[in-house]
Structure 1
Amino acid sequence: MSSQVIPAQAHGGPSYRWELTPTGSTAQFRGLAAVSKDVAWVGGTEGTVLRTVDGGRHWQNVSPKGAEALQFRDVEAFDAKRAVALSIGVGEDSRVYRTADGGKTWTETFRNTDENAFYDCFAFNDDKHGLAMSDPVDGKFRIAATSDGGKSWKVQSNAGMPAALPGEFAFAASGTCLVAGPGRTAWFATGGGDRPRVFRTNDGGRHWRVSDSPMASGTAAGIFSLAFRNPLFGVAVGGDFEKPDEAVKAASITYDGGRTWKLVPADKAPKGYRSGSHFVPWSPSTVVAVGPSGSDVSFDGGRSWKQFYDGSFDSVECAGHGSQAGCWASGAKGAVGRLMH
């Protein structure tokens, strides 16, 4: 694919494009943490973690020692020094590492010992409270929680978790199958069953409610990414990762905190399967989505989408305020981009 820029512009507003930043790596980066326009972290295959503090001009290899066999699928960073990285896989391959010195040293703070668990993604409400989510164990999704910034984790009781559907699971595609909101709110999305669903909590993961989604589902299909602007307004994107150029029931919107979802019509949806999404900090209704077959932007809160890039990314994340706000994307073959607008 030519990876060309396709103009996408709001009426009288900004145009969007990715500025690619050379990482010197060939890893696939599905883990991504944006801190600002200058600071970002990525995590990927072969235990690779990189960090930039100068807007992507230089990337430092800060990979945890001894983690070469792991795949980091999610990274959450609080600033240029403090970050946590989640590796995925069955049993002990699901781990959490934490650094407080910019990746010079890492401490393993969680290792899954249940051979039936598989942790997909995690998210933080603030720099203390976070949740990690595993595919179903004994018929229910599993949640581990931290209240000390990832220094320690505790698997939660599943008494407040609704039962999983047959074949239901989550996608460890971009670190955004689970997202956190203000207070103790969080949401996670699923696929694999006869319908995709969105689970939500208001009490830090102790109790969950679940809603059906009108999006497509299947063995390789469902909701891959959630993005919320506030506790009520959010978008979901996904599709079928085995059909990256097709977008069948691939996006939806909620205005009531995930209780109900409205499907985006096919002619207004992203043009293919999308694995990551995030609202931009500088506009209340602008959201970006990425996937293997391109990147799209919506200027109207997810109701309609325009493609602006036809290259491949897996993840997108935005952070920062004012002049420090920035959005980043990451993906295969060491690709990382910074959003220009």
Structure 2
Amino acid sequence: MARFNSLLLALSVGCLATSLPPHLRGAENTQLGSSSPAWRLTPTGSQQRFRGLAPVSGDVVWIAGTNGTVLKTVDAGRTWESVGPALGLEDVELQFRDVEAWSADSAIILSIGEGNASRIYGTKDGGKSWSLSFTNNDSAAFYDCLAFETPEHGLAMSDPVDGRYRLIETVNGGSSWSIVDPRGMPSALDGEAGFAASGTCLSTAAGRWYLASGGTSAARIYRSADGHKWDVANSSIAGGSAAGVFSVAFKDAHRGLAVGGDYETPNKTESISAWSIDGGVTWQPSDRFPGGYRSGASWVPGFCGGAIAVGPTGSDLTIDGGKTWHAFDNGSFDSIECVGRHVCWAAGELGRVGRLTLD
């Protein structure tokens, strides 16, 4: 514990400027405090696995999971309400893997699977009613995750169809979706695919888009300035049939980090994380990797190089933008998102949801 407290305390002396582009050095000076982070579990009353996570604030959070389950809290996790769409008997096993939310009333959820199991629903009344806005009708498509850069503009990502990742786009808040012209997407490698593990295989920051991939020997990260024309780079993270990049997150147009690994060998700690300071054009392997396969990562808003990664074997903190990671918890989570300057939320198996406060 003393080692970890001293690690956090080191942040108080100033930003780790060497991890920033020259024109950004010294731009931030708010740092983590000296107390050791600790997850506080909240009683969801559910045994479902929640990979979809969308905190709106320290109080309002949506989670989405197995067997068509969607829960919401408006009191910082003290109580949770079941707010998922009413499903027919043939649909009760839908797997909701991603959720995006903007308030206690407005949210979008994505279910995964082959054919019409991949769907998108939206609500504007806190989950009292839902509209089905997209049903996949292509047997070759399998949707993994979605992201929004504004409440109106979003993308959802499918595994490759006809040799390229497929994207669908909305410009009206999820009311309707259209297929993005695939000619702007580089060709996929044989076996390349995304991982629907935390809702963060597709992400957006500072008007740019990022897509994480794996499933083959070269785990790659795609990038785009508009969501239509894409480039791709080697992530330096090890790939494989069950391995690759599971989560990509950018703090701004320059600084990004990625985590992953092999979900079939979750204790493997080599070549499972990377960082970038040039907008994802190039990626460098971490000097010190997290403590095992990590399915989700999130920057901590307002803290220079601070980010947290989670997976089935624990949680890790970086204070230098992903160059070095330090374990602080061994509990299982699949997804994480930090909101505001002090609060992070995480969700995972057996109804497990945690709230972490950073001072």
Length-normalised TM-score, structure 2: 0.90
Task: Report 1:97-136 matches (<5 A).
Answer: 97-136=121-160
Corresponding position: 1:189 with 2:212: yes
Equivalent residue in structure 1 for 2:68, among 47, 59, 75: 47
Give the Cα separation in 1 of the matches to 2:279 and 2:115: 33
Corresponding position: 1:27 with 2:24: no
Q: CA deviation at 1:182?
A: 2.3
Task: Report 1:148-227 matches (<5 A).
Answer: 148-183=172-207, 185-203=208-226, 205-227=227-249
Q: Deviations along 1:46-84, whole A, 9 cap, x unmatched?
A: 000000011000100001100422000000001111000
Give the Cα separation in 2 of the matches to 1:237 and 1:71: 23
Equivalent residue in structure 2 for 1:306, among 326, 351, 354: 326
Give the Cα separation in 1 of the matches to 2:143 and 2:58: 29
1:229/1:284 contact within 8 Å kept = no
Give the Cα separation in 2 of the matches to 1:292 and 1:334: 13
Q: State which drifts further: 60-69 or 232-241.
A: 60-69
Identity score, percent: 51
Higher relative contact order (CA 8 A, sep 6+): 1
**Counterpart in the other structure of 2:254:** 232
Give the Cα separation in 2 of the matches to 1:7 and 1:76: 33
1:177/1:189 contact within 8 Å kept = yes
1:36/1:318 contact within 8 Å kept = no
**Counterpart in the other structure of 1:336:** 353
Q: Deviations along 1:251-286, whole A, 9 cap, x unmatched?
A: 100011111000013xx1101000000001131210
Q: Deviations along 1:132-156, whole A, 9 cap, x unmatched?
A: 0000000000000011111111111
Q: Which amino acid aligns with 2:260?
A: G
Give the Cα separation in 2 of the matches to 1:290 and 1:194: 23
Q: CA deviation at 1:39?
A: 0.8
Q: Which amino acid aligns with 1:327?
A: C
Corresponding position: 1:10 with 2:8: yes
Q: Secondary structure at the match of 2:174?
A: coil
**Counterpart in the other structure of 2:78:** 57
Give the Cα separation in 1 of the matches to 2:86 and 2:306: 39
Q: Secondary structure at the match of 1:277?
A: strand
Q: Secondary structure at the match of 1:47?
A: coil
Q: Which amino acid aligns with 2:249?
A: A
Q: Which amino acid aligns with 1:260?
A: T
**Counterpart in the other structure of 2:30:** none
Give the Cα separation in 2 of the matches to 1:154 and 1:218: 31
Q: Deviations along 1:210-267, whole A, 9 cap, x unmatched?
A: 11121100000000001110011000000000111111200100011111000013xx
**Counterpart in the other structure of 1:262:** 284
Give the Cα separation in 1 of the matches to 2:4 and 2:265: 24
Give the Cα separation in 2 of the matches to 1:105 and 1:243: 40
Q: Secondary structure at the match of 1:122?
A: strand
Q: State which drifts further: 205-214 or 50-59.
A: 205-214
Q: Deviations along 1:102-124, whole A, 9 cap, x unmatched?
A: 11111111110000000000000
Give the Cα separation in 2 of the matches to 1:25 and 1:92: 26
Q: CA deviation at 1:194?
A: 1.9
**Counterpart in the other structure of 2:292:** 272
Give the Cα separation in 2 of the matches to 1:213 and 1:61: 38
Query: Which structure dedicates a bigger proportion of its chain to helix?
Result: 2
Q: Which amino acid aligns with 2:114?
A: V
Q: Which amino acid aligns with 1:115?
A: S
1:35/1:318 contact within 8 Å kept = no
Give the Cα separation in 2 of the matches to 1:249 and 1:282: 28
**Counterpart in the other structure of 1:68:** 92
Q: Secondary structure at the match of 1:10?
A: helix
Q: Secondary structure at the match of 1:97?
A: strand
Length-normalised TM-score, structure 1: 0.94
Q: CA deviation at 1:206?
A: 1.3
**Counterpart in the other structure of 1:248:** 270
Q: Which runs of 5 or more residues in structure 1 are unaligned?
A: none
Q: Which runs of 5 or more residues in structure 2 are unaligned?
A: 11-32
- Greater radius of gyration (CA): 2
Equivalent residue in structure 1 for 2:339, among 311, 319, 330: 319
Corresponding position: 1:290 with 2:310: yes
Q: CA deviation at 1:7?
A: 5.1
Give the Cα separation in 2 of the matches to 1:77 and 1:11: 34
